Structure 1
Amino acid sequence: MANNSSHPAALYKLRKVTRISALVILLLVVVGFFMPADYRVERSVVINAPRDVVYQDILQGDRLPDWMFVQDGKVASFGGVLGKGDSVALVYDKTADQGLLSVIESSESVIRFDVRPKPKVNLVHNKIVLQENEGSTVVKWTIEGNLSAGLLSPYLAMFANNIAGSNFERSLQKLKEQVELLH
C-alpha cells in the first residue's frame, strides 16, 4: 500500500513541473514580442597595404570568391571588378537556391552592398569602410538586417553578433592574407 500513496505525490510534482515549464515558455514568448528582431554586427582588421590596393582587391572577380566566406557555399566566379549596380550570385553546395550580392556604392573609402542570402530571405545591408592609417588600411565591415524567423527572431538577433561575427572575422582574415601576400 505504500506504493499507492506515492503516486499522488509524484503526479502532484509532475503537474507542478509542467505548469512551471509552461509559464516559463509563455513568459519567453511574451518577452519576445517586445524585443527587436533587428541586428548589427561589426568587425575590423588592419591590412598592411595602402587603401587603394585593398580597394582594388575587395571586389575583383578572381579574388572576391576566395576571401568572402559564405556558409555552405561561395560567391560565384566572375571576370572584372564589381561596381555600383553590379551583382553576383551566391551559390550553395547542397541546394539549387542562389543568393545575390548587389553593389550599391563603391569608392576607395566606402563600399556598400546588399546580400539576399537566398530567395525569400531578408536583405542584409553591408558596409565596408576603408581608412588609411600610416601606410596600412583599417577595414571595418558592418552588417545590419532584420530577421523574420517567427518567434525566434528576437532571440536569434540577440546572438547574431556571436553567430555571424566569426564568419566575418574569417572573411576579413582571408582578405588580409590575400592582399598582403599579393602586394
Structure 2
Amino acid sequence: MGSNSHPAALYQLRIVTRILALVILLLVLVGFLLPTEYRVERSVSINAPLDVVSENMLSGQNLSQWMHVQGGRVESFDGVLQNDDSIRLLYDESDEIGELTLLEHTGNIIRFDVRPKLSTGLVHNRITLEDHASVTEVKWTIEGDLSVGLLSPYLAFFANDIAGQNFEVSLLNLKQQIESQN
C-alpha cells in the first residue's frame, strides 16, 4: 500500500512543477513584450505667485527641505542652483551618492536630470509652472528607461505607483514650505 502512494505523489509533484515552469515562462515572455520606458506625472496648486514659487524652489536651503529622496536627502548648499549646476544626493544608510543636475531654468520651466545612484541611469525631470492669478500650478513629470534586466518591464509598469508617492510627498512639502513663508 505504501509503495502505490509514491507514484501518485510523484505524478502530482510533476504536474505542479510543470505548471510552475509554464507560469514562469509566461511571465518571462510577457516581460519581453512590455516596454521598459516609463512616465510619471503629478501636480499641486500652490497659493503663491509664479515668481515666488520659481525663486524658492531652487534655493539651497529650500530645495533640500522640500525634495523628498527615499532613504536620503538632497545636500544643502548656499545660493540658488543655476543651469549646469549639480548637487549630490546623500543616502542615510549607504556610502552611495546620487546627483541632481539642473539643465534649464526659465521663468516657468525647470528641467533637471537625476541619477539616483551613480551606478544607475538618468531620470529626466521637468517641472512646469502655470500662473493662475495668485495660484501657481506646479506639474512635475519624469520620463526614463529602465534597463536592469528581466525585471525592467515590470518595474516600469509600476513606476507610476513607486515614484509617484515620492513626488506627492515632495510637492506637498513644497506647497507647505512656500505657503508658510507667505
Give the 5 Å matches for 1:1-183: 1=1, 3-183=2-182
The Cα of 1:11 is off from its aligned counterpart by: 1.1
Deviation readout 1:74-102 (Å, 9 max, x if unpaired): 00010000011111111111111111100
How far, CA to CA, are the matches of 2:50 and 2:154 in structure 1? Answer: 37
Unaligned 5+ residue runs, structure 1?
none
How far, CA to CA, are the matches of 1:46 and 1:108 in structure 2? Answer: 17
Give the TM-score, by structure 1 length. 0.97
- Could you tell me which amino acid in structure 1 is paired with residue 176 of structure 2? E
Q: Percent identity?
A: 60
> What secondary structure, in the 3-state scheme, does the structure 1 residue paired with 2:61 have?
coil
> What secondary structure, in the 3-state scheme, does the structure 1 residue paired with 2:124 have?
strand
> What secondary structure, in the 3-state scheme, does the structure 1 residue paired with 2:19 have?
helix
The Cα of 1:134 is off from its aligned counterpart by: 2.6
Unaligned 5+ residue runs, structure 2?
none
RMSD: 0.8
- Could you tell me which amino acid in structure 2 is paired with residue 17 of structure 1? V
The Cα of 1:50 is off from its aligned counterpart by: 0.3
Count of matched residue positions in the alignment of Structure 1 and Structure 2 = 182
The Cα of 1:4 is off from its aligned counterpart by: 2.4
Give the TM-score, by structure 2 length. 0.98
